[in-house]
Structures are given as C-alpha cells and as structure tokens.
Amino acid sequence: MTLAPITDDALANLRHGFFTRKGGASSGIYASLNCGIGSADQSEIVAINRERVASHMGVDPDWLVGVYQVHSPDVVAVTGPLTTLPKADGIVTATPGVALCTLTADCQPVLFADAQARVIGAAHAGWKGALSGVLENTIDAMVALGADRARISAVIGPSISQSAYEVGPEFMDAFLTEDDANSRFFANGAGDRLHFDLPAYGLHRLRGAGIGHASWTRHCTYADPARFFSYRRSTHANDADYGRMIASIVLD
C-alpha cells in the first residue's frame, strides 16, 4: 500500500504532506501508518512507518524532525536532527533538508511557509496550544528567521470537526475568559453539552496574526476512520490506545 498524503495548493512550492493512516506497517488499532513514538505500538514498526514518511519527503529518517509535544505555546528553531526532543508544540527552520513534522489524532496539524524567504514551520495546535498562542508564536519564530509575516501561508490539516467535538460548559469558560466573542465557536448540543469548532478557532487565530493566507483542508479526523486516526473516536470505542498521524514540510 502506498502513502496517501494530503497536500494543499497554498504550499505547492514546497514538498509537504498531511499523511493519512494509510501506507504503513502497523496492525490492529494502529493500522497502518502510525507514526506516534509515544504510542504503545511496537517501536520498530513505528520506526519503519517514519522511514517511509522520510523517504516520501526525500530525507534520511534522522532529518524528519519533531518535538516532544505537550500542548504548550512553546516553539523551537532547529537547523538539523535533534538528539533530545525539546518539550514544545511548534518548530521552525530555514535550513534546507530539515523535514519538520508534527503528530496529531484530532488536534490541528498546521504547516507554515514563506516560500520566498525559505522559512517553514509546523505546529501541533490542540485547544490548549491554540488558546495559549502556539500559532502566533510559530509565526513570530518564523519572522525571527527572516520570514515576512504578510507572505506566510498556513494550512490546517485533518482535525476534529465541530459536529464531533462535544465539550462541557467549563471548557467554553476558558475561551470566554480570553474573549467573550469566542462564544461564536460554540454551538448548543444536548443538555448542557456544547460543540466546539477547533478549526474555525485556529483560522481565527491565524488570520488575527496578520499572515497572508490561512486555510483548513476540511477533513474531519473523527468522521473518516478509514483515513484518519482519532483520539476521541478511539475513546468512544474503548480502544486501549490510538495511532498518530504525521504532517511534514521541507525546504529542498
């Protein structure tokens, strides 16, 4: 089975992809392209999956570079492979051959590029990271490397959609504390339940940062089990664990 990454025209000048769960070596609940080092899948199988992604991206496996994701606003700049993964949720580079990557299974994988300045970024933006500023911080870190804010394109990949993201009232309170206008990202559900629009909130934060382009690929991870892993879907199914998808971008 071949890899089936989703690409976006806004990043067409750079090699990139939001990889689906297809094309890997894992089995069972991890079938098949589970790239999550932190999952309970066999480490040697995860390594094979990541090697396939690296090959598709045209780099050695060591040059598929990510971070230890902790739902933070923190961003690091890199120039090559890392021996120890820093705790962060955004990563940027201006070094050719570094394939930045991020892992998700409902949260937003966001790829960034200023193709003219040759600066790229990747971010893992769940609700906590997005609320605390990881998207803006990734943009700021790109600007520090020479990117022009107005030229930066950002694309949100497959993420959980509003219809599948049920939350409680205390969840909304965190967003209303930041800005009462954030109520527009919530829809009423059954009883006191609400539905949160994570991609719309991500787009709001990206556009508010003044970049040139922001879009979502409009793929829902929860709704398409054949193509995507989903933390929430696996929880509802009482699965013991879940796979992680990878998104990557590289300067040739």
**Segment 24-54, tens digit of pLDDT:** 999 999 999 999 999 999 999 999 999 999 9
* Confidence category of residue 82, pLDDT binned at 50, 70, 90: very high
| C-alpha distances out from residue 27 to 35, 41, 60, Å | 12, 9, 24
Give residue-wise pLDDT tens across range 140-188: 999 999 999 999 999 999 999 999 999 999 999 999 999 999 999 999 9
The pLDDT assigned to 1 comes to: 58
- For the chain, what percent of residues have pLDDT higher than 70? 100
In the predicted structure, residue 216 carries a pLDDT above the cut 70? yes
0.85 exceeded by pTM = yes
Strand-pair partners of 114: 119
The pLDDT of residue 69: 98
Domains of the chain: 9-159+215-250 (3.60.140.10)
Instruction: Retrieve residue 91's tokens.
Output: 């990563």
What phi and psi values does residue 34 have, to the nearest 5 degrees?
A: -80, 115
104's tokens: 């998700």
Mean pLDDT of 123-151: 98
What pLDDT, on the 0 to 100 scale, is given for residue 4?
A: 87
Q: Residue 74 in contact with residue 134, Cβ under 8 Å?
A: yes
What confidence tier does 2 reach under pLDDT thresholds 50, 70, 90? confident
Buried b (16+ CB within 10 A) or exposed e, 30-57: bebbbbbeebebeeebbeebbebbbebb
Can you tell me the mean pLDDT for 189-205? 98
pLDDT-derived band at 61 (thresholds 50, 70, 90) equals: very high
